[in-house]
Each structure stands twice: as structure tokens, then as C-alpha cells.
């Protein structure tokens, strides 16, 4: 990322941080962690090659320090996965958990929550397991699966030059410098039924292009009614595909959700890939 890109992100993310519902004390702690992580990433990491960080008492191990920085930016500073519930022990599905910083965020937010985390990439999954173990997180479970609309073995594409990349995908067009590997896949609907999950307080889904198929399967199996709140990263126009966002949003509406959308396209007229963040909730 260029310096100008980083400055743009800081300005954009700061608005979300300042508008968050945390107490002033918590905001100060989040900001001081943000300052520490960015300072180390910009000034020191090229000399020392850090791969671990302490965040709110949790030890985080990553493949690269820049990855920890990017995850912290979205999860804690931008506050993308914050949700409110009156329950002390909400059930959360963390789909696309990578090294587990989002899972740790959920346990930080609701310490008695139960979290099921899914990550298909082997290297990232090993760190996910390690991060849950070294922090002694109870009721946090890691599964080395890609989520799909079928069970079994499927093709998965990793970035050969950027291990642990956040854009690994079942869609080859999504991943540069790609290498095809084979991973285990599971239908999220099958998992929900297997573990007899009756209510999902929060579903986080960032699965790099498989969200349409997974969501359609949940709809087909009539499981959307069990979900209270969702944060979905929708991947718009991967490769040369035609626009289909309207159909996806209609499915969300038909399932009884209200929603908010956040998206950036620079420049706005560019006919290219776009991340679209959808926060869906029930009144």
C-alpha cells in the first residue's frame, strides 16, 4: 500500500472509530494499540520482522506483521464486527477467520460467547488454532473448512507470493499469483444441523466470493430465520462476472432483515472489482 493509500484509509477509518459506541476509556485503549501497531509496521518492522503482538492482553501470532496490522485496522479500529445483544453468551459464526483476530475480538466483546470459526487455508488455520490455544479461550472452536454449497473436496486458490493473504478464494480470478490447492469444504447449513444450532446471534461472513452460494444454501434449508444479525463482505464483480448484487440484497430483504451498506470505488465509474460491506439486522 502506498503512503497516500494508507493516509486515505486512516482518514476513512477514523470516522468509524470516533462514532463507535465504546466508552472513552476503551476508545483511548483502541487508539493507543492502533498507534503502537502502525508505528511498528511503518518504522520498525522492516528491520525486526515482527510476527506477534499483544492486544488487550491477548497474544496474537501472525504470518506477517502487516497482516496483523490490516486485521486490527478493520476489526478493532474500524469496528466492522461490533454488535449489541442482551445475551451474555451469544453464539457467533466466524466464517473466514484467517488467523483468528476476529474470533478474539468476539471473545473480547463478549467473554462468555461461543464462537465457531472457519478457515480453509492450512497456514492461516494453524495460527488460528494456536491463537485460540495460547490465549486459553473457552468455547472458541476452529474448523479447517472452506464454506461452500456442497460437502467434500474443492479447489482453493492461495497467493504464492503472499502467504496468508486476505484474498485467498475458491474463485481463481480473486487471487493474484495463484496456486491451486485442494481443501475440505462443508455446507454451513450442514454444520448448523450437525451441531444442532437453533439460534445464531451474529454471523460474520468474509469468504472471498463464496458468500452468494453459501447464503443461497442457508435460504434453501430455511435457516436464515435462525440468524439475528449478519456482517457480510460481498465481493462485487469478481473477474468478468455480471452484477448480481440486487438479487443478493433481495434475498436478505425476503428473509426479513433490514440492512446498511458500505462501499468505496475509486474512481466511482471504474468497471472493476469492489468490496461491499453489508450489515443486516432484525428490528
Claim to verify: residue 262 and residue 140 sit in the same structural domain: yes
Residues near 8 by beta carbon (within 8 Å), at least 6 away in sequence: none
Same-domain status, 75 and 137: no
Burial status of residue 4 (CB atoms within 10 A of its CB: 0-12, 13-18, 19 or more): exposed
Q: Which three cell numbers stand for residue 65?
A: 506483521
Give the C-alpha separation, 103 to 142, whole Å. Answer: 9
Quick one: 231 and 168 in the same domain? yes
Q: Is 95 helix (H, G, I), strand (E, B) or coil?
A: strand
**Residues 112, 248 share a domain:** yes
Instruction: Tell whether 67 and 93 lie within a shared domain.
Output: no
Q: Which of 80, 108, 137 is the last residue of a domain?
A: 80
How does strand 202-205 pair with strand 229-236? parallel
What values do phi and psi take at 62, rounded to 5? -135, 165
Residue 115 shares a structural domain with residue 240: yes
DSSP 163: T
Residues 45 and 96 in one domain: no
Q: What CATH number did the domain enclosing 168 receive? A: 3.40.50.150
For β-strands 258-263 and 229-236, DSSP reports them as: unpaired
Per-residue pLDDT of the chain (283 residues; tens, 9 = 90+): 566 666 778 888 899 999 999 999 999 999 999 999 999 998 887 888 899 999 999 999 999 999 999 999 999 999 999 999 999 999 999 999 999 999 999 999 999 999 999 999 999 999 999 999 999 999 999 999 999 999 999 998 998 888 888 888 888 888 888 899 999 999 999 999 999 999 999 999 999 889 999 999 999 999 999 999 999 999 999 888 889 999 999 999 999 999 999 998 888 888 888 999 999 999 8
pTM assigned to the model: 0.94
- 49/165 same-domain check: no
Contact partners, residue 270, CB within 8 Å, separation at least 6: none
Identify the domain containing residue 34 by its residue range: 1-80
**For the chain, what is the total number of helices (H) and then of strands (E)?**
9, 12
| Residue 153 · residue 185 · CB < 8 Å | yes
Quick one: 144 and 173 in the same domain? yes
Q: Are residues 56 and 100 in the same domain?
A: no
DSSP 3-state of 59? strand
If asked whether residues 112 and 69 sit together in one domain, one would say no
Write down which residue in 50, 80, 110 finishes a domain.
80
Task: Please say which residue of 22, 51, 80 terminates a domain.
Answer: 80
Do 65 and 202 lie in one domain? The reply is no
Q: Select from 200, 80, 190 the least CA-distant residue to 146.
A: 190
Domain count, the chain: 2
Amino acid at each position: 500500500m502506498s503512503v497516500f493509500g494508507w493516509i486515505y484509509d486512516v482518514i476513512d477509518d477514523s470516522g468509524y472509530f470516533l462514532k463507535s459506541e465504546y466508552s472513552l476509556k476503551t476508545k483511548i485503549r483502541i487508539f493507543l494499540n492502533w498507534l503502537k501497531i502502525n508505528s511498528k509496521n511503518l518504522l520498525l518492522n522492516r528491520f525486526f520482522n515482527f510476527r506477534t503482538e499483544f492486544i488487550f492482553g491477548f497474544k496474537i501470532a501472525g504470518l506477517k506483521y502487516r497482516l496483523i496490522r490490516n486485521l486490527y485496522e478493520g476489526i478493532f479500529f474500524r469496528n466492522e464486527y461490533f454488535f449489541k445483544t442482551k445475551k451474555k453468551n451469544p453464539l457467533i459464526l466466524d466464517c473466514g477467520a484467517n488467523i483468528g483476530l476476529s474470533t478474539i475480538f468476539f471473545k473480547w466483546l463478549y467473554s462468555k460467547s461461543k464462537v465457531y470459526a472457519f478457515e480453509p487455508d492450512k497456514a492461516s488455520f494453524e495460527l488460528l488454532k494456536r491463537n485460540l490455544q495460547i490465549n486459553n479461550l473457552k468455547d472458541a472452536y476452529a474448523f479447517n473448512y472452506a464454506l461452500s454449497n456442497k460437502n467434500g473436496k474443492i479447489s482453493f486458490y492461495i497467493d504464492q507470493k503472499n502467504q496468508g493473504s486476505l484474498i485467498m478464494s475458491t474463485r481463481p480470478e480473486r487471487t493474484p499469483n495463484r496456486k491451486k490447492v485442494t481443501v475440505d469444504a462443508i455446507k454451513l447449513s450442514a454444520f448448523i444441523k450437525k451441531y444442532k444450532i437453533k439460534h445464531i446471534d451474529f454471523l460474520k461472513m468474509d469468504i472471498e466470493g463464496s458468500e452468494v452460494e453459501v447464503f443461497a444454501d442457508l435460504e434453501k434449508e430455511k435457516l436464515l430465520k435462525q440468524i439475528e444479525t449478519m456482517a457480510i463482505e460481498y465481493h462485487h464483480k469478481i473477474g468478468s462476472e455480471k452484477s448480481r448484487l440486487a438479487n443478493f440484497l433481495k434475498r436478505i430483504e425476503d428473509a426479513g432483515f433490514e440492512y446498511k451498506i458500505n462501499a468505496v470505488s475509486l474512481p466511482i465509474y471504474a468497471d472493476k472489482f469492489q468490496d461491499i460491506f453489508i450489515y443486516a439486522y432484525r428490528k
